[in-house]
Structure 1
């Protein structure tokens, strides 16, 4: 059994190798790891010969996910679309070998990279008009003093201090909001479907009527937050000790998810 290179694992995580948004990407693709629910975003910049000039990623995942995506995007640089289509987890592991119980991470990273290729060829992925960066969001907040009704789908606001900000009615589905502070923020009526609040400080925040279907709030601080009439489903994730919030929320979409699981 191979021994993982822990020193290199730590170095990749500390440096966040290839972890960044890319404003001039040819394609931006979103992938959700169905095993753990983590979100991956792949950015590829292609030249006229369909060779990858640059590749990066963002993720809500753990250290193993970061390493796998770092290796996938590093491999992609200088490769053709055909090369990426033929990539296997075994090839990826020539760059970094994962422990036996963590082989699912290179598998997911390869799947995410291939989905980015598919999204490019089919014209899918995140449309350019919907690609809003953290810098653009913070400029909008500075200019108008709020983010009410803002189109912020898939935005990445990790480790930001946004206490008291008004996000009411905003579109934040698929947003990466983990480890940020939203104390007293107003998310009433916001679209937060499939958003990530892992580790966020949500104390005293207002989520009345917000759509939290398939959102993740693991390890979030939610003391005195108001979830009255917010929508949840079988994919909404909170810590076990915080499941009391469902008592004041509205359940939706359960039958759809159950049917999907039964068919798997």
Structure 2
């Protein structure tokens, strides 16, 4: 049985190896781990010879997910897209060996990287015109004082203070919003499909009529938050003690979530 290198595991997590947004990436690919619901984003910069010059990732996942994605993006550097097509979890584990009960993490990281290759081949992933960085979102907030109806699909707004900010009607689907503070923020009517509020402070926030299908609120503080008429589905993840919010929300079917605008 493999013995995990805990010292290296901690080092990779502490350094956040390859964890960053990449503004000049050729492809930004989104992958959702259906097993745990975590979101992965792979960034690849590919040259004219189809070789990866740089690779990075972002994730809402745990330490094992971080290590697996760090190894996947590290492996990708200098490889051709053809070489990445044949990558296996076993090959990835030559860089870091996972415990038997955590083999699903390299498997998911390989699947995410291969999806990025597919997106590069067919022009998929997050379109360049729809890529919104944290810096751009913060500049917009500074300029107009709100983010009402803003197009912020897939944006990363982690560990920031958005207390009282108006996000009403904004498009925040696939957004990474974990560990930020949204006390008293207004998300009424916002598109929050597949967004991540893990560990966020949502006290007294307004989610009336928002779309929270496949959203993840695990560990969030929702005291006083209003979820009246917000949409949820089987993929909406909350803590056991938060289940009461579904009493005022509206259940929506999976067919409503799977529409052409949600491919990324």
TM-score by length of 1: 0.96
Q: CA deviation at 1:256?
A: 7.5
- Distance in 1 of aligned mates of 2:254 and 2:242: 19
Matching of residues 39-54 of structure 1 within 5 Å? 39-54=39-54
Instruction: Give the aligned partner of residue 261 of structure 2.
Output: none
CA RMSD of aligned residues (A): 1.0
4+ aligned runs moved over 4 Å, structure 1: 254-257
1:30 aligns with 2:27: no
Q: What does 1:167-178 align with in structure 2 at a 5 Å threshold?
A: 167-178=167-178
Aligned to 1:98: 98
Whole-angstrom CA distance in 1 between matches of 2:92 and 2:248: 46
How far the C-alpha of 1:159 sits from its partner, in A, is 0.8
Gaps of 5+ in 2: 258-264
Match of 2:122 in 1: 122
The aligned counterpart of 1:235 is: 235
Q: 1:133-148, aligned counterparts within 5 Å?
A: 133-148=133-148
From the superposition, tell whether residues 200 and 81 of structure 1 become closer, same or farther in structure 2 (CA, over 3 Å): same
TM-score, normalised with respect to structure 2? 0.96
**1-structure distance, mates of 2:136, 2:250:** 33
Alpha-carbon deviation of 1:219?
0.6
C-alpha distance in 2, partners of 1:150/1:216?
21
Q: Distance in 1 between matches of 2:145 and 2:221?
A: 25
Residue in structure 1 matched with residue 187 of structure 2 by the alignment? 187
Looking at structure 2, the residues matched to 33 and 104 of structure 1 have their Cα atoms a distance apart, in angstroms, of 10
The 1-side partners of 2:241 and 2:42 are apart by: 34
1:28-82 CA distance string (max 9 Å, x none): 0000001111000000000110100000000000000000000000000000001
User: Cα deviations across residues 171-211 of structure 1 (Å, max 9, x unaligned)?
Assistant: 00000001110000000000000000010000000000000
SS of aligned partner of 2:129: helix
